[in-house]
Chains A and B, each alone.
Chain A
Amino acid sequence: MFKVAFKNLLGHKLRTFFTAVAIALGVGFMAGTFVLTDTIAASFDDVFTEANSGLDAKVRGKTAFEAEAVDGGQQRPDIDPALVDTVRGVEGVEVAEPTVFGLATLLDRDGEPLAQAGPSFGSNWTGNPEVDGFNIVEGEGPDAPDEAAIDQSAVDSAGFSIGDTIRVQAIGGTLELKLVGIAKFGESGNLAGASFVLIPTEAAIEQFAIGGRVQEISVIAAEGVSEQEVVDNIEEVLPDTAEALTAEEYTDESQEMLGVFVDQLRVALSIFAAVSLIAGAFLIYNTFGIIIGQRVRELALLRSLGAGRSQVLWSVLVESAVVGLVASILGLLGGIVLAIALKALFGAIGFELPGLAPVVAPRTVIVSIVVGVVITVVSSMVPALRASRVAPLAALREFAAESATRSTARTVIGLVLVALGVAGMVRGATEYEIELAALGTVALFTAVVVLGPSLTPIVAAGLGAPLRVFGIAATLGRDNARRNPKRSAGTVASLMLAVTIITFFAIFALSFGKSINAATDEYFNGDLEAASSGFGFPSIGPDLVDNLAEAPEVGAVTGVQRGVLKIDGRPRPVYGVRASDVTQVFDLQGVEGDLAGLGAEEIALDRATAKVAAWGIGKELEVTYPDGTSGVLTVAAIYEDAGIIAQNADGHYLLSDQVFRTHFPAIGQYLTRVDVKAADGVSVDELRRVVEAEAKAFPSVEVRDVNEIKDENNRQLQQSLGLFFVLLGLALVIGALGVTITLALSVFERTREIGLLRAVGATRRQMAGAVCVESVVLTLLGTLLGLAIGIAGGAAVVQTQADTIDTLRIAIPPFFVGGVLVLAVIVGVTASVVPAFRAARLDVLKAVTVE
């Protein structure tokens, strides 16, 4: 009797433990996401408050018009440094220092650009701690023109130390500087992945400032003068092209700007949090379903001893609420640890986020615990309600209480959802409506969850069929995987969710990559491209185009510049090209009018935009340039499509690069890429030697031929997919744990069956094998369903873009599908280790004699 009681206790311990693990995991991932984003947001706020503390006002160029980041962002004109002296002379101004901000590529010991996660900038060191955003943590601030301080992260990754000579590629050429100080931005090694080279102000204006112009003036007011007073005083002396604002306004604006970035991060992480939470909810629900199912006898005993139905339900409610609460608190704590780990992960890949202490907002605590407890209680009450409806004596007789009957309502709802989902996806794909295709995918996924119990036996039978060759143990495993379809379907739901989402995004991203490469094949007529390496910051001087145009080996050359113009009252994205050669390098699929002769007073646009606006050749358009001047541009050419030049699919304009040189602020004159076509009879190799020689002045530039351009596209895609998959891997972990938990509970439930098998001659290896096969069949089940939904949804969503991308290709690479399936087998085997060990080590005698 003592033995039986002990066994029961152990069994309950195991059940309680598994339930708690399920809840803690679900809550933990959600809490972790909250904590991480809150920590990042708070740290950025701190960083800017700290960096601007002590300042009273900022002076900067005035934008001619507001522009959204998606159109190319604000293009603020630069300031003449002479204005600094003017500001210094204003009443109430104590200190006025210019801020220079330019591209400066830090080179490693081999003269190659330092491999880092973010771009690298050059700025000025004023020596006034209230003005400088960075603070020196080792060594001293740069004092002489050949001295520099760089950020801690760059020092760490390059292995520099104080006293070293470092080389920096700036617009004026390569600088050799002596490293005298190591700087940090607030507490952070660098600024969200971007590196900085700091040199004294005079030198910075000379080396980093394009055209000798500066970006901002930082002002400290005299004792007793308010921020607003000093701003008002400065405004009086400023030209129309500049503006002054208080430090408070400036800080708010900076925080708001980074708030956009933090919000994007939050949205991205929220997707993972939601996936984790839904996967966790599936896990909790299924675990409770099994556990309450196993406890039906216990509940029935209580009832036959005179407990009312509501009393039994109350006891389950209280119990689950307590378990839910404790587990949610543990999950919350785990989530905080997870947030710290994720932050470290970001740091490890070079994207260092500021701030040290995790921020646990009251919202995080409340939402985590409420969600955890509610999901737990609901998950336990649904099966408990069902169990309490069984007549007590029937429940006592029948050990396995879960009904095997399939609900007709369930099937009908499932089939309707399938129909809706497929209809949505087909219609979305053919009518180019992305929302419809996405909704269809969600409906299809829901349908598969609803239909799971009916689908499971069929798919599992098919999956298990080839395993027969492994003998009876494999057959037993296969049969066990489908003996309780509801349980199996519930078990693999979270895995299915993870695989669906991974597949969906993979198909989307891979198709996108394939489409870009198809466009390169089709519409890129050039031979080589010189591109600044990553991050989208233009870093190629316009000289490169001019020099290449004069080289005899070059048949055609054009740069690509990006900017925003206010055209006909609205800011619109424009691209600057070398008009004379552009159609030789890029196939614009037909041009009406004279694009090659596009002059400084002319503009070209794409056919679709022209149609919508009803603008023909000769139409005169009022424009405002970023420098504040206005003018009229005449439509001189209309081309079919320049998707190969512009990433912006919603209409774009081409301008002569001469317009950029005259009317755009310094950084806007720089190019992101230069595309070159060889002259007749010149080989690509000969051309490459010429282009590389000319591009030497810009070490962050890489020269690529057509194949290398495509490889680079693939590499970037794979990189971003990689990080994405690391995060989705967490959902996969939840899915695997769900399989482990179900298997462990099933093994516990099948004690007598396992004992019988062992008695009549099943070896430990065979028992473990049966559990392993069951696990693999389950994971493959979830994976196959997830793959199918993900592929269908991904393909449908990609297809919706066929109206804007004419080289659209849907990629379903066999290596991806194969890789996912192999991964599923590995996950299945891993998930089975603990339950298989328990099954193999079961005491045969206890198992066959247990009453």
Chain B
Amino acid sequence: MNDAAPVAASTTVARAEQATKYYGIGDTAVCALAEVDVDIHGSRYTAIMGPSGSGKSTLMHCLAGLDTLTSGRILIGDTDLSTLSDKELTLLRRERIGFVFQAFNLIPTLTAEENIKLPALLGGRETDKGWFDGVVSTVGLGDRLTHRPSELSGGQQQRVAVARALAQRPEIVFADEPTGNLDSRASAEILGFMRAAVDDVGQTIVMVTHEPFAAAYADRVVFLGDGRVVDEMDEPTEGTVLDRLKSLGG
């Protein structure tokens, strides 16, 4: 597998080409994505923003192999997702992608440690011990590893989720509103961990969010509106993102 060598910042880790997605059929079909072209650069922290219904979640689901396009294609590395079977997509998610969802990120019957190692366990693999310890200490879960999710606070649960996403050293981590259910302090922690993963080990992260505060942690923001890419911004701050959203009428 990849050796977690930081991927050169200029390389494209994932790409959407003319990505188009309709929900439903015939007259009632709703266009969620319309010919979207996006490159996700390696070792970079990309935020996807946009108002409700802008297609940002759909784009992320398609990029992550959770949903399929109506037309166009998605590449993860050199792999065209549209050519993969359900089983191959599953293995791709397991081996090459990490996930952080907004809520319900953990399996209630497994301990924090088992949850972190879940993708590896599903693949029957061992998790690199040194790497695992590093991730766990980074997110500050050392004394919570044997706890079950019900014994953890919301912030701690999201930290476990982030640790799970990072522990497999995936090519790319997708985070879907990872701080949507957290207070501001816990949110800052989670966003900080993800930022650190990009800076320290060159992790590639794509995050869907509607909070300018969260987007400010990213290297780059992609703005979506009505299923199209309407703008992009590098080195965002909370203020510039807020201004841009206002100007886009979000």
A759-B93, A760-B122, A763-B87 in contact; A476/B109 too (CB < 8 A)? yes
Does chain A have a CB within 8 A of B230?
Answer: no
Q: Are B107 and A845 in contact (CB under 8 A)?
A: no
The answer for the CA separation of A504 and B121 in the assembled complex, in Å, is: 43
B142-161 vs A: 1/0 string, CB under 8 Å? 00000000000000000000
Does chain B have a CB within 8 A of A62?
Answer: no
Q: Are B109 and A479 in contact (CB under 8 A)?
A: yes
A238 to chain B, nearest CB (A): 85
Does chain B have a CB within 8 A of A756?
Answer: yes
Q: Are A764 and B122 in contact (CB under 8 A)?
A: no
A471-B124, A472-B122, A848-B101 in contact; A757/B107 too (CB < 8 A)? yes
The answer for the CA separation of A764 and B106 in the assembled complex, in Å, is: 19
Q: Are A766 and B107 in contact (CB under 8 A)?
A: no
Q: Are B122 and A762 in contact (CB under 8 A)?
A: yes
Q: Are A760 and B91 in contact (CB under 8 A)?
A: no
A578-622 vs B: 1/0 string, CB under 8 Å? 000000000000000000000000000000000000000000000
Q: Are B66 and A845 in contact (CB under 8 A)?
A: yes
A725 to chain B, nearest CB (A): 36
Chain A residues touching B, range:
20 to 34
Q: Are A844 and B107 in contact (CB under 8 A)?
A: no
A479, A756, A758, A759 interface centre (most CB from chain B within 10 Å):
A759
Nearest A-chain residue to B95, judged by Cβ: A761
Q: Which B residues are in CB contact (< 8 Å) with A848?
A: 66, 101, 104
Does chain A have a CB within 8 A of B57?
Answer: yes
Q: Which A residues are in CB contact (< 8 Å) with B217?
A: none
Q: Which A residues are in CB contact (< 8 Å) with B124?
A: 471-472
- Residues of A450-506 at the interface with B, using a CB-CB cut-off of 8 Å, are 471-473, 476, 479-480, 483
Nearest B-chain residue to A851, judged by Cβ: B103
B52-86 vs A: 1/0 string, CB under 8 Å? 00000100010010110000000000000000001
Nearest B-chain residue to A762, judged by Cβ: B122
Which of A473, A479, A759 is the one whose CB lies under 8 Å from B110? A479
Q: Are B101 and A756 in contact (CB under 8 A)?
A: yes
Does chain B have a CB within 8 A of A407?
Answer: no
- Residues of A828-851 at the interface with B, using a CB-CB cut-off of 8 Å, are 844-845, 848-849
What secondary structure prevails in chain A residues at the interface with B? helix
B64, B90, B93, B110 interface centre (most CB from chain A within 10 Å):
B90
Nearest A-chain residue to B121, judged by Cβ: A472
The answer for the CA separation of A480 and B107 in the assembled complex, in Å, is: 10
A474 to chain B, nearest CB (A): 11
- Residues of A700-757 at the interface with B, using a CB-CB cut-off of 8 Å, are 752-753, 756-757
The answer for the CA separation of A849 and B102 in the assembled complex, in Å, is: 10
B91-121 vs A: 1/0 string, CB under 8 Å? 1011100010100111111100010001101
Q: Which A residues are in CB contact (< 8 Å) with B106?
A: 756
Does chain A have a CB within 8 A of B123?
Answer: yes
- Residues of B162-213 at the interface with A, using a CB-CB cut-off of 8 Å, are 164
Total count of chain B residues near the partner, CB < 8 A: 29
Q: Which A residues are in CB contact (< 8 Å) with B66?
A: 759, 844-845, 848
The answer for the CA separation of A521 and B110 in the assembled complex, in Å, is: 59
A759 to chain B, nearest CB (A): 6
The answer for the CA separation of A762 and B94 in the assembled complex, in Å, is: 7
Q: Which A residues are in CB contact (< 8 Å) with B87?
A: 763-764
Which of B57, B99, B105, B118 is the one whose CB lies under 8 Å from A472? B118
Nearest A-chain residue to B107, judged by Cβ: A753
The answer for the CA separation of A483 and B108 in the assembled complex, in Å, is: 9
Q: Which A residues are in CB contact (< 8 Å) with B101?
A: 756, 759, 848
Q: Are A761 and B90 in contact (CB under 8 A)?
A: yes
Q: Are B104 and A761 in contact (CB under 8 A)?
A: no
The answer for the CA separation of A473 and B64 in the assembled complex, in Å, is: 23
B26 to chain A, nearest CB (A): 15
Q: Which B residues are in CB contact (< 8 Å) with A471?
A: 121-122, 124
A472, A473, A757, A844 interface centre (most CB from chain B within 10 Å):
A472
The answer for the CA separation of A757 and B164 in the assembled complex, in Å, is: 12
Q: Which A residues are in CB contact (< 8 Å) with B105?
A: 756
Q: Are A473 and B122 in contact (CB under 8 A)?
A: yes
B61 to chain A, nearest CB (A): 6
Q: Which A residues are in CB contact (< 8 Å) with B108?
A: 483, 753
- Residues of A759-779 at the interface with B, using a CB-CB cut-off of 8 Å, are 759-764, 766
Which of B91, B99, B123 is the one whose CB lies under 8 Å from A759? B99
Q: Are A760 and B67 in contact (CB under 8 A)?
A: no
The answer for the CA separation of A457 and B110 in the assembled complex, in Å, is: 15
Q: Are B67 and A761 in contact (CB under 8 A)?
A: no
Q: Are A762 and B90 in contact (CB under 8 A)?
A: yes
The answer for the CA separation of A473 and B61 in the assembled complex, in Å, is: 25
Q: Are B109 and A761 in contact (CB under 8 A)?
A: no
A774 to chain B, nearest CB (A): 11
Q: Which B residues are in CB contact (< 8 Å) with A752?
A: 104
A456 to chain B, nearest CB (A): 14
Q: Are B122 and A766 in contact (CB under 8 A)?
A: yes
Which of B57, B67, B90, B109 is the one whose CB lies under 8 Å from A758? B90
B54 to chain A, nearest CB (A): 15
- Residues of A107-141 at the interface with B, using a CB-CB cut-off of 8 Å, are none
Q: Which B residues are in CB contact (< 8 Å) with A761?
A: 90-91, 93-95, 118-119, 122-123
Q: Are B119 and A845 in contact (CB under 8 A)?
A: no
The answer for the CA separation of A548 and B223 in the assembled complex, in Å, is: 109
The answer for the CA separation of A753 and B107 in the assembled complex, in Å, is: 6
A469 to chain B, nearest CB (A): 11
Q: Are B93 and A483 in contact (CB under 8 A)?
A: no
The answer for the CA separation of A480 and B123 in the assembled complex, in Å, is: 20
Q: Are B107 and A756 in contact (CB under 8 A)?
A: yes
Q: Which B residues are in CB contact (< 8 Å) with A757?
A: 107, 118, 122
Which of B61, B86, B118 is the one whose CB lies under 8 Å from A760? B118
Q: Which A residues are in CB contact (< 8 Å) with B109?
A: 476, 479-480, 483
A476-B109, A480-B109, A766-B122 in contact; A760/B99 too (CB < 8 A)? yes
The answer for the CA separation of A760 and B101 in the assembled complex, in Å, is: 11
A832 to chain B, nearest CB (A): 18
Q: Are B104 and A760 in contact (CB under 8 A)?
A: no
The answer for the CA separation of A849 and B104 in the assembled complex, in Å, is: 10
Nearest B-chain residue to A482, judged by Cβ: B109
A689 to chain B, nearest CB (A): 69
- Residues of A352-404 at the interface with B, using a CB-CB cut-off of 8 Å, are none
Q: Which B residues are in CB contact (< 8 Å) with A763?
A: 87, 90-91, 122
Nearest A-chain residue to B67, judged by Cβ: A845
B12 to chain A, nearest CB (A): 23
Q: Are B122 and A753 in contact (CB under 8 A)?
A: no
A483-B108, A753-B108, A845-B67 in contact; A760/B94 too (CB < 8 A)? yes
Q: Which A residues are in CB contact (< 8 Å) with B94?
A: 760-762
The answer for the CA separation of A476 and B95 in the assembled complex, in Å, is: 20
Q: Which B residues are in CB contact (< 8 Å) with A756?
A: 101, 104-107
A476-B109, A761-B91, A845-B61 in contact; A753/B123 too (CB < 8 A)? no
Q: Which A residues are in CB contact (< 8 Å) with B61?
A: 845, 849
B108 to chain A, nearest CB (A): 7
Q: Which B residues are in CB contact (< 8 Å) with A753?
A: 104, 107-108
Q: Which A residues are in CB contact (< 8 Å) with B104?
A: 752-753, 756, 848
Nearest A-chain residue to B57, judged by Cβ: A849
A23 to chain B, nearest CB (A): 31
B87, B109, B118, B164 interface centre (most CB from chain A within 10 Å):
B109
Q: Are A764 and B118 in contact (CB under 8 A)?
A: no
B66, B86, B110, B164 interface centre (most CB from chain A within 10 Å):
B66
A471-B124, A848-B101 in contact; A760/B119 too (CB < 8 A)? yes
Given contacts A760-B99, A761-B119, A764-B87, 8 further A-B contacts (CB under 8 A): A472-B122, A476-B109, A757-B118, A759-B64, A761-B95, A762-B94, A763-B90, A844-B66
For the complex of A and B, 7 pairs with smallest distance between CB atoms: A761-B94, A479-B109, A472-B121, A761-B119, A752-B104, A763-B90, A761-B122
A-B contact pairs, 15 of them (CB 8 A): A471-B122, A471-B124, A472-B121, A472-B124, A479-B109, A479-B110, A483-B109, A752-B104, A753-B108, A756-B101, A760-B93, A761-B119, A763-B91, A844-B66, A848-B101
